[in-house]
Amino acid sequence: MSYRLAVCNNKGGVGKTNEVINLAVFLVTLFMLRVRIVDLDPQADSSAALGFEVKDEEDAPSIYDAITDAYQRQRLVTGTAAKAIQACRWDVPWRDKLTFIPSRFDLEEANAVAPNLDHYLRLRAALEGTDDDVDVTLYDCPPSLGVLPQMAWADADDVMLVTQPSFRSYRGLKRTEAQLYYVRDKLLVPDLDIVGFVINAVREQTTNHQHWSKRIINEFGENRHWGTVPLRATLSRLDDQLKPVAFLDDGAEKAALTAHYEPIARRIHQLATTTINQEI
């Protein structure tokens, strides 16, 4: 069983998917871990970044199929996600170490079902027994507090928040925190907690960004502040091109951005190592 980390914020547009993709790549390339991304966002952006053609692969099994198949004849069925696992489509030597379970737009239908405990546990059942060959599983959660992120919470070891230094992003963090603490007993994970947070798109020289960065760190704790990623045109360009930092040709820029992501990846590596050792 892998270390499972849900990446969340109720506020959209804060860079969750970009964070998931880059951290997955650095966990593979810097720490030689085997990583799986589970795309739980109906927008399917992380699936697209990994090479999955959402419109052209309508018949390919997705996370929605896995969740749907995990409940049959009024009972949970395990391991249904196995058929949906794919290797990333990038032409890199380590592509087999980075796998993913794609999403499609039909995943939105999961929110239309009247939820009960079995519904929230479908993702856990679908993934059971499918990650014995994986060290870290990252859940790319949608910007909501409904069924899909709660499915991830029901299966996760920890939660990581991604935000930006702004009022709306801060409010998204507070809503996410409140909802997590409200539902975790119901989801049978009473000890699930926010293990860390990352502040994205920071202009350190601006007073407003300084204010909100400081407030977020003060309220959520310096010990849980995993890192800050600066606002750079390079990151926006990479995001538009669906590429991670590791694919940069500019060595100096690549090194500068890697210096921001490596400590965050190292935190996940340490947590994964501890979790896996405890399960042995």
What does the pLDDT profile of the chain (280 residues) look like in tens digits?
A: 799 999 999 999 999 999 999 999 999 999 999 999 999 999 999 999 999 987 777 789 999 999 999 988 888 999 999 999 999 999 999 999 999 999 999 999 887 765 778 889 999 999 999 999 999 999 999 999 999 999 999 999 999 999 999 999 999 999 999 999 999 999 999 999 999 999 999 998 899 999 999 999 999 999 999 999 999 889 888 888 889 999 998 889 999 999 999 999 999 999 999 988 887 6
**What does the buried/exposed string (b/e) look like for 122-149 if buried means 16 or more CB atoms within 10 Å of the residue's CB?**
bbbbbbbebbeebbbbbbbbbbbbebbb
pTM: 0.95
What 8-state DSSP symbol labels residue 60?
S
Q: Which residues, 6+ apart, have CB-to-CB distance to 264 below 8 Å? A: 23, 196, 198, 226, 227
CATH topology of domain 3-279: Rossmann fold (3.40.50)
Sequence spans of domains, the chain: 3-279
Q: How far apart are CA 218 and CA 93, in angstroms?
A: 42
Neighbours of 91 (CB within 10 A): 7
Q: How far apart are CA 25 and CA 32, in angstroms?
A: 10
Put residue 52 in one of left, alpha, beta given phi > 0 → left and psi -120 to 50 → alpha: beta
Contact 161, 194 (CB under 8 A): yes
Q: Which residues, 6+ apart, have CB-to-CB distance to 133 below 8 Å? A: 34
Q: Which three-class secondary structure state does DSSP give residue 85?
A: coil
